[in-house]
């Protein structure tokens, strides 16, 4: 009886060891997309009133966990029964990411950026509606990025037994969510941390200097994240097409892959932008409730 228990424990230990090794490998392979995920979601989680930053981020994080709960079993089942469906889903997601990236570029080029006062006024009058819309957009984008993260993680352990595949993908999904949104939370609260350091230092010494630096750095970080997030959307979209379409993968092999992915992302965005805009116009508008 005791030997049987120890044998089970030994099997569990061996499985956990395999999962740890496989998770490390899968995390390395998803590092690039995780970086893009961080840039995109950090940009989407900013621009709210200070009092709403953490509630909004928590809402997006819960949505991200729900996305993973849907994607992980769906990816495992599709990979087992009909693997081509995963590629089709990735392609659709790629077009949506390309659309989002191109929409940001077109807005920047052809629409006047609102001044800070106008944004504050708009948020005050219709803040709840705008907040919900931005949270919904962030969760939708997270869903597509999560699909690619899970698919890449699954692809790294296809030669492993099914229990190892399941546990590895689950570990990567949890680490991706906690890691990405943990860093995002630190970014969006930089200014609050800076104000507290200034207050407790009595505006003297190193803490005061550090606090002022954090406060001054946040707007710059947000601008950088906005640019990087837009580029990441196009790069991820282009990468989906380049890595899954043989013709594109072998097209112009001498140019850097990142340049090819960026160009393909822009072209996909130019195709997707009018289609998604038309689809949004054709969708019945929701009536506002007072």
Q: pLDDT digits over 225-273, tens only?
A: 778 878 888 888 888 898 888 888 888 888 888 899 899 999 999 999 9
Confidence category of residue 277, pLDDT binned at 50, 70, 90 = confident
Give the pLDDT of residue 287: 47
Q: pLDDT digits over 55-87, tens only?
A: 888 888 999 999 999 999 998 898 888 888 878
Residues 6 or more apart in contact with residue 181 via CB below 8 angstroms: 41, 45, 57, 60, 61, 64
Q: Is the model's pLDDT at 126 over the cut of 60?
A: no
The pTM for the full model equals 0.69
Give the pLDDT of residue 49: 67
DSSP conformational letter for 111? S
Q: Greater confidence, 119 or 246? A: 246
CB 232 within 8 A of CB 42: no
Compute the average pLDDT of residues 80-99.
85
For the ranges 9-13, 38-42, 109-113, 154-158, the lowest mean pLDDT is seen at 9-13
Q: pLDDT digits over 205-230, tens only?
A: 888 888 888 888 888 887 887 788 78
Cα–Cα nearest to 157, from 31, 37, 36, 18: 18
Q: Is the model's pLDDT at 158 over the cut of 90?
A: no
Residues 6 or more apart in contact with residue 290 via CB below 8 angstroms: none
Give the pLDDT of residue 228: 82
Give the rounded percent of residues in the chain with a pLDDT score beyond 90.
9
Q: Is the model's pLDDT at 36 over the cut of 70?
A: no
Query: Phi and psi (nearest 5°) for 172?
Result: -60, -40
| Mean pLDDT estimate for the chain | 79
């Amino acid at each position: 009886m005791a030997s049987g228990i120890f044998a089970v424990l030994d099997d569990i230990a061996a499985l956990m060891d395999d999962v740890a090794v496989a998770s490390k490998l899968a995390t390395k392979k998803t590092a690039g997309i995780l970086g893009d995920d961080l840039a995109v979601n950090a940009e989407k989680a900013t621009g709210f009133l200070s009092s709403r930053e953490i509630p909004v981020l928590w809402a997006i994080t819960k949505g991200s966990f729900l996305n993973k709960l849907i994607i992980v079993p769906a990816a495992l089942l599709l990979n087992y029964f009909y693997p081509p469906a995963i590629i089709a889903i990735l392609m659709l997601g790629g077009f949506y990411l390309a659309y989002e990236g191109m929409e940001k570029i077109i807005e920047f080029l052809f629409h006047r950026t609102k001044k800070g006062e106008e944004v504050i006024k708009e948020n005050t009058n219709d803040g709840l509606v705008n907040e919900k819309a931005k949270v919904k957009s962030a969760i939708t984008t997270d869903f597509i990025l999560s699909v690619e993260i899970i698919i890449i993680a699954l692809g790294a352990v296809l030669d492993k037994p099914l229990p190892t595949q399941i546990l590895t993908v689950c570990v990567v999904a949890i680490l991706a969510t906690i890691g990405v949104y943990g860093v995002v939370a630190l970014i969006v609260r930089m200014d609050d941390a800076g104000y507290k350091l200034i207050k407790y230092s009595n505006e003297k010494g190193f803490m005061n200097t550090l606090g002022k630096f954090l406060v001054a750095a946040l707007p710059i970080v947000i601008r950088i994240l906005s640019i990087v997030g837009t580029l990441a959307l196009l790069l991820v979209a282009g990468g989906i097409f380049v890595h899954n379409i043989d013709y594109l993968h072998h097209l112009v092999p001498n140019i850097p892959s990142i340049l090819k992915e960026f160009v393909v992302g822009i072209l996909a965005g130019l195709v997707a932008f009018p289609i998604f805009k038309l689809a949004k116009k054709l969708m019945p508008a929701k009536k506002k409730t007072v």
